[in-house]
Chains A and B, each alone.
Chain A
């Protein structure tokens, strides 16, 4: 009798309970309990996250979740950020928008990453969704300011328009003026990616004026320093602000105006932008520095002394993005001033130069690891590293969740012992038990993969380049890393064996990218044939892979699990290894 009570809850009660469950993982677990819970859950799911837009078709999503209000899609593989994925590969969002336009009239939020968004798609969004609120285009491309104008004009309740790092075709700067005078709902606006002529400043000022809830505003490079004060005074409630150009001739009245404007922003916690910085204007920020938790100076070509001065005013800093001009000395200062630091990213100022142009070495990172025990996320570009330093970092920061090290010259060994850096990275995975993301570089043998396979049980994303000796390396990773979702490999001598031996593992992962490795065309075909739930795609821009012997290695290989079968929008240089497609050909 007691068992039956569980099933006698009315649906409404269950729905109400489920509404408190936000995480996708939990929702998925809920839907597995029994058929009725599956049904109830699918009708009340409002947010869907699709990590690979080709893993499922729009129709399937719509069929299962009929009442979605918010959708997030990711398209191209991560290595597309580094020009490894040729243009035209795919990731078109139009078909998704078209299907959702009919099925989800109340769709309010669309978040896209690395997808191709055309003006047609944007116009369709503007036309179809009456309650549209949030559009985030992260690292997208294919659209112009005309599409943005359509969004601005039609979306009466737009709350968020975030175009970070996208490529926008500049046609006209007047799209901002398309926001109707009645639009007062903006909370977040990020136009930092736009070029010089793409923003009408007066329209921007008026928009900022009439949106009292604006919390986050990132301007583009065209906005000059003297205009910042105007904007800030219109929006003193800002929490997150991205400047435009931060350079101008030093003039006392401009300076004091700027300093006053900043000090009036009592909620400001996060700063970014800072293109072309004139250091003399940095002290204008001092009034807000004590409250700052996030600072992105990664485009600011300012030298270490100025950086040190600024950073020493920010004791609450949790997140810092900076160029390697900060040098070891700057990082040591950071370590002593900012004890709350959680995330550090150091980018190279001269990545293609042969000789180092700044004095930034592994010592800087070691200093930060010593001084900032809460460090969780690291992205560090440097030119030399040692196993000893990595071991020290690992021991000092056992809470690391993301560790990405890029030693600029491929296959650089430990500069002290000239050995591979296997032990160092091994220490990282061993001590940092919660490590979720790891990027390797330097001279590495199969041993490092042994360590990763043994200790990296929570590792979800691994990026490998110019590493390893043999298939055993790949085998260690595929067989050992239980939580692995994304694996991307370039220029490693991994061939067919490990891949074929661990074919089933690939179905538990989101995707695998291998380029300039040693996987033969025959193995790709075999994989595609035998694993119907995987899409095995070979990318070759020079000639069809079947015009060469089967043993020939493929140039680029992208394997991802999918319940939608092979895709139909492949360009001529992408070949699907799926059986069905081959028969059609």
Chain B
């Protein structure tokens, strides 16, 4: 991980953004250490790059109508002037009001009374390993000259409690205030390509524009899936069906043989079988990488990720789904649109278990199962004519009985 960080250090010195927050540029605000503990010793705190005007006004709670505040208050609200909040009791000594058991309640109160700073001092020399990680070196390069000592050794300075190095969130936050577009902070912040956040960033982009094609935000509006499912089913019954699946998330459970728990996927986030397949691959590769948590259910398998890909693409595993009628079918036979309308549940099973699916319908009715297994049995195992004819008669007998 070091090479990218080294490259980043220069960038940090020029603009304050973290490598990922490229679009937000700040002028004059360097990375600085912040003292969050309300300690009066501010000497090690202020770095040269920071405006030291601790705005008293900013910390007054004023409750006028919105818009009556002086604009400067807003722009100075962020990290710089929360330093001013040091003077106020940041750690209110509130006794716990919740119904927690008495012993811990006592401890909470006592702990509060001691003050957070005391606790921190106790840790001052000990748990410094957190700060020896590479990423802290990155901050060191970005912060000003008087603080490298404290950072470089990765320990807390002994005398004044903890100097917490502020992450580069702050410029982002300040930028958000200035731009008056808080959504953009979320948008431009580094995000893994997580389906959830992608959707959210899209929706935050949409906040001013006309939402022509509305992006789905996960979990918004906050309605229980039970209710959306029920409503979807009711509307299908009542209204005319225009052939297009309605909006809203379509979560189906996905289980895999040997996995300790189920996952859920939203079928509407995919438009082809390929996308679904790669998403499932990603989702279930963690089970086979030996990282399963110990909730006491399934054991771990230790396959490599590439092996899983071979497994999923190769012949060992197939993806099946349960349709509206309760039958298990192989995924991939029907057009995608039809698939997402009928799919109720997904299951990744071993190919050996999946013989008989796909072209055959595996339904719950017993006679069909019996017939099918007899046919399979006969064809694969017996070549002797006598046995075939015997089995055929047996089959006809059963068939007649079940009619």
Does A119 sit at the interface, judged by CB under 8 A? no
The answer to whether B167 and A520 have CB atoms under 8 Å apart is yes
Among A79, A275, A450, A504, the residue within 8 A (CB) of B230 is A275
In the complex, what residue of chain A is closest to B254 when comparing beta carbons? A87
Does B157 sit at the interface, judged by CB under 8 A? no
Distance of B374 from chain A, by nearest CB (Å): 25
- Across-interface contacts of B222 in A (CB, < 8 A): 81-82, 406, 439, 463, 465
Among B123, B166, B216, the residue within 8 A (CB) of A529 is B123
Distance of A220 from chain B, by nearest CB (Å): 11
Does B314 sit at the interface, judged by CB under 8 A? no
The answer to whether A88 and B263 have CB atoms under 8 Å apart is yes
In the complex, what residue of chain B is closest to A499 when comparing beta carbons? B36
Distance of B232 from chain A, by nearest CB (Å): 10
Can you list, as one digit per residue, whether each of B150-174 has a CB less than 8 Å from chain A (1) or not (0)?
0000000000001011111110111
In the complex, what residue of chain B is closest to A520 when comparing beta carbons? B167
- Across-interface contacts of A276 in B (CB, < 8 A): 234, 237-238
- Across-interface contacts of B102 in A (CB, < 8 A): 28, 31-32, 38
Most A CB contacts (10 A, CB to CB) among B34, B177, B251 go to B177
Query: For chain A, what secondary structure do more than half of its interface residues adopt (helix, strand, loop), or is it mixed?
Result: loop
State the CA gap A529–B156 with chains docked (Å). Answer: 13
- Across-interface contacts of B292 in A (CB, < 8 A): 571-572
Which among A3-11, A230-238, A487-495 touches the partner chain? Answer: A487-495
Among A482, A504, A563, the residue within 8 A (CB) of B112 is A504
State the CA gap A573–B217 with chains docked (Å). Answer: 21
Does A129 sit at the interface, judged by CB under 8 A? no
The answer to whether B135 and A522 have CB atoms under 8 Å apart is yes
Does A468 sit at the interface, judged by CB under 8 A? yes
Distance of B387 from chain A, by nearest CB (Å): 36
The answer to whether A299 and B249 have CB atoms under 8 Å apart is no
State the CA gap A571–B225 with chains docked (Å). Answer: 23
State the CA gap A352–B266 with chains docked (Å). Answer: 15
Q: How many A-B residue pairs have CB under 8 A?
A: 313
Among B61, B169, B235, the residue within 8 A (CB) of A496 is B169
Does A446 sit at the interface, judged by CB under 8 A? yes
- Across-interface contacts of B135 in A (CB, < 8 A): 522, 549-551
The answer to whether A505 and B92 have CB atoms under 8 Å apart is yes
Can you list, as one digit per residue, whether each of A558-578 has a CB less than 8 Å from chain B (1) or not (0)?
000101000011111110000
Does B351 sit at the interface, judged by CB under 8 A? no
The answer to whether B66 and A445 have CB atoms under 8 Å apart is yes
The answer to whether A347 and B227 have CB atoms under 8 Å apart is yes
- Given A298-B227, A408-B221, A410-B217, A353:B247 Cβ within 8 A: yes
The answer to whether B94 and A482 have CB atoms under 8 Å apart is yes
The answer to whether B293 and A570 have CB atoms under 8 Å apart is yes
Does A447 sit at the interface, judged by CB under 8 A? yes
Distance of B42 from chain A, by nearest CB (Å): 15
Distance of A92 from chain B, by nearest CB (Å): 6
- Across-interface contacts of B174 in A (CB, < 8 A): 470
Distance of A357 from chain B, by nearest CB (Å): 11
- Given A504-B111, A530-B123, A572:B99 Cβ within 8 A: no
Does A479 sit at the interface, judged by CB under 8 A? yes
- Given A32-B102, A87-B263, A526-B164, A470:B176 Cβ within 8 A: yes
Does B196 sit at the interface, judged by CB under 8 A? yes
The answer to whether A508 and B90 have CB atoms under 8 Å apart is no
Which among B77-85, B331-339, B365-373 touches the partner chain? Answer: B77-85
- Across-interface contacts of B176 in A (CB, < 8 A): 469-470, 493
The answer to whether B261 and A571 have CB atoms under 8 Å apart is yes
In the complex, what residue of chain A is closest to B8 when comparing beta carbons? A549
Among B78, B170, B286, the residue within 8 A (CB) of A573 is B286
- Across-interface contacts of A475 in B (CB, < 8 A): 82, 85
In the complex, what residue of chain A is closest to B344 when comparing beta carbons? A195
The answer to whether B96 and A530 have CB atoms under 8 Å apart is no
Would you list which residues of chain B between 292 and 342 have a CB under 8 Å from chain A? 292-296
- Across-interface contacts of B51 in A (CB, < 8 A): none
The answer to whether B261 and A349 have CB atoms under 8 Å apart is no
- Across-interface contacts of A472 in B (CB, < 8 A): 77-78, 82
The answer to whether A469 and B74 have CB atoms under 8 Å apart is yes
Distance of B275 from chain A, by nearest CB (Å): 16
- Given A445-B66, A495-B173, A411:B207 Cβ within 8 A: yes
Does A507 sit at the interface, judged by CB under 8 A? yes
In the complex, what residue of chain A is closest to B19 when comparing beta carbons? A549
Query: For chain B, what secondary structure do more than half of its interface residues adopt (helix, strand, loop), or is it mixed?
Result: loop
State the CA gap A55–B91 with chains docked (Å). Answer: 22
Among A426, A504, A543, A574, the residue within 8 A (CB) of B116 is A504
In the complex, what residue of chain A is closest to B194 when comparing beta carbons? A542
In the complex, what residue of chain A is closest to B226 when comparing beta carbons? A165
- Given A94-B296, A497-B36, A550-B135, A299:B231 Cβ within 8 A: yes
The answer to whether B94 and A508 have CB atoms under 8 Å apart is yes
Most B CB contacts (10 A, CB to CB) among A381, A411, A495 go to A495
Does B147 sit at the interface, judged by CB under 8 A? no
- Given A411-B183, A491-B204, A504-B111, A83:B230 Cβ within 8 A: no
State the CA gap A191–B18 with chains docked (Å). Answer: 53
The answer to whether A516 and B99 have CB atoms under 8 Å apart is no
Which among B184-192, B354-362, B378-386, B392-400 touches the partner chain? Answer: B184-192
- Across-interface contacts of A563 in B (CB, < 8 A): 101, 104
The answer to whether A555 and B192 have CB atoms under 8 Å apart is yes
- Across-interface contacts of A543 in B (CB, < 8 A): 192
The answer to whether A470 and B294 have CB atoms under 8 Å apart is no
Does A56 sit at the interface, judged by CB under 8 A? yes
State the CA gap A139–B65 with chains docked (Å). Answer: 41
In the complex, what residue of chain A is closest to B107 when comparing beta carbons? A533
Does B57 sit at the interface, judged by CB under 8 A? no
Distance of B95 from chain A, by nearest CB (Å): 8
Does A183 sit at the interface, judged by CB under 8 A? no
Does A354 sit at the interface, judged by CB under 8 A? yes
Among A167, A347, A485, A553, the residue within 8 A (CB) of B98 is A485
- Across-interface contacts of B263 in A (CB, < 8 A): 86-88
- Across-interface contacts of B120 in A (CB, < 8 A): 530
- Across-interface contacts of B234 in A (CB, < 8 A): 275-276, 299, 301
- Across-interface contacts of A87 in B (CB, < 8 A): 261-264
Can you list, as one digit per residue, whether each of B230-249 has a CB less than 8 Å from chain A (1) or not (0)?
11001101100000001111
Distance of A511 from chain B, by nearest CB (Å): 11
Would you list which residues of chain A between 536 and 559 have a CB under 8 Å from chain B? 540-543, 547-553, 555
Distance of A512 from chain B, by nearest CB (Å): 13
The answer to whether B167 and A550 have CB atoms under 8 Å apart is yes
In the complex, what residue of chain B is closest to A505 when comparing beta carbons? B92
The answer to whether B166 and A518 have CB atoms under 8 Å apart is no
State the CA gap A523–B136 with chains docked (Å). Answer: 12
Distance of B205 from chain A, by nearest CB (Å): 11
Contacts A504-B112, A551-B167 known; 13 new A-B pairs at CB < 8 A: A28-B100, A32-B105, A348-B221, A420-B66, A423-B65, A426-B63, A471-B82, A493-B172, A495-B167, A510-B98, A516-B196, A551-B139, A569-B293
A-B contact pairs, 27 of them (CB 8 A): A24-B99, A25-B99, A28-B100, A28-B102, A81-B224, A82-B220, A88-B262, A299-B227, A351-B248, A406-B221, A446-B77, A450-B61, A469-B180, A470-B77, A471-B173, A479-B90, A493-B182, A496-B167, A504-B112, A508-B96, A510-B98, A516-B197, A533-B104, A543-B192, A550-B135, A550-B167, A569-B296
